[in-house]
Amino acid sequence: MIRVYKIVALLVVGFTFMACPADDSPSSEPLRDYQEVYDEELVEIENFLDTHYVTVDADFNTTFTEIPDGGTQTPISEMPELTHIPVTLNDVDYKVYYLRLNEGNNENPTALDSVYSSYKGQLLDKTVFDHASTPIWFKLEEVIPAWGKIFPLFKTGDFVENTSTGIVSYSGYGAGVMFVPSGLGYFNIEKALIPAYSPLIFTFSLKRLRYRDHDGDKILSKYEYGPDLAEEAIDTDGDDYYDYLDVDDDADGVLTKEEVKFTYVDGTVTKTGYYPYTGKSTDDPLTPYDDRRGIPRKFTGPIVPPSTLPSPASDDSDFTDATRLRRHLDKTCKPPYTN
């Protein structure tokens, strides 16, 4: 079924088949059978992994070298860092190999989010077709499919900015290499140095990320799409608008962002805030509101500070119970709210 979005701007959300910007206009070759092409390319990719070794420097830059006759270097195919995931697209079950050079320390993006990445793109003959040593922001929805599958397997690290020079230093960030069949890349598109039907190698690092809110309803899209970004996104009210693109998730006539709003007093000033989808594990004493409270269910009890509640606290579970029906998804629950 074709979905019609409630927000006109979101009509342009699509897939660009681009992993990185380029000035050249693409051309295309006649369309071939996806399975036939993949069967050929899997042999090429696995042969590359069997016949090459990789050297990695302290910044996770990579150099691929063919193992000479009689060489004792460890082929990529035998590295413990090499693994693969299954990806199904266009009725083809792909095996996507990747090297986990460093997992990262902090947060994983989802395929709906933006990543700040440095990268190098190569063909199997090691021709470099693109390179960004300085990180660039990418929306994972707008790049080749493989990026949206592999980047979420890595985490961001830490960064420190030198206030006098403006130079940002990164540490502990995720870094890896993905080996991409053309069916998860450009397929029959020929662009710049990339011939049609070319498997690709991307060495990349995940420096930072931005969680996105596609419909601006104050709930991150990663919470509204569904568990593990299931193939079919969530449509709570069955109105043919996915929740992450729906400004009224339960079709009760009240905008979602109004249902997740609360007010609090900061000194003598009444201000507005928005409940996080899930509250923090500990309260930040510097904020005048309780950070532990996520979006509540339809509230039925008195408001008391969680610190004064017994454990378990029945009324506080209105904010914290993992299985609760949050009020923006409950069309029987409308403002005005007591909390």
> Comparing 302 with 35, which gets the higher pLDDT?
35
Q: Is the CB of residue 224 less than 8 Å from the CB of residue 58?
A: no
Degrees (nearest 5) of the Cα angle 207, 140, 230? 120
- CA 252 from chain centre, in angstroms, equals 30
Q: Which amino acid type is present at position 296?
A: P
Tell me how far CA of residue 323 lies from CA of 10, 58, 301, 318, 319, in angstroms: 30, 44, 18, 10, 10
pLDDT digits (tens, 9 = 90+) for 43-71: 999 999 999 999 999 999 999 999 999 99
**pLDDT for the residue 80:** 97
Q: Give the Cα separation of 255 and 264 in Å (integer).
A: 20
Q: Where are the domains of the chain?
A: 8-210, 250-339
Task: Please determine, for residue 338, whether its predicted confidence score (pLDDT) is greater than 70.
Answer: no
How is domain 8-210 classified at the architecture level of CATH? Roll (3.10)
Give the model's confidence band at 315: pLDDT under 50 very low, under 70 low, under 90 confident, else very high.
low
Dihedral-angle region of residue 327 (phi above 0 means left; psi in -120 to 50 means alpha; beta otherwise): alpha
pLDDT digits (tens, 9 = 90+) for 66-99: 999 999 999 999 999 999 999 999 999 999 999 9
| Element containing residue 261 per DSSP (H, E) | strand 261-266
pTM metric for this prediction = 0.84
**pLDDT for the residue 318:** 77
> Comparing 91 with 336, which gets the higher pLDDT?
91
| DSSP strands (E only) in 147-252 | 158-161, 168-171, 174-180, 189-190, 200-210
Rounded to 5 degrees, what are φ and ψ at 255? -60, 140
Q: Which two tokens stand for residue 63?
A: 């150099």
Q: For residue 85, what are the contacts with CB-CB under 8 A and spacing of at least 6?
A: 95, 96, 98, 149, 150, 153
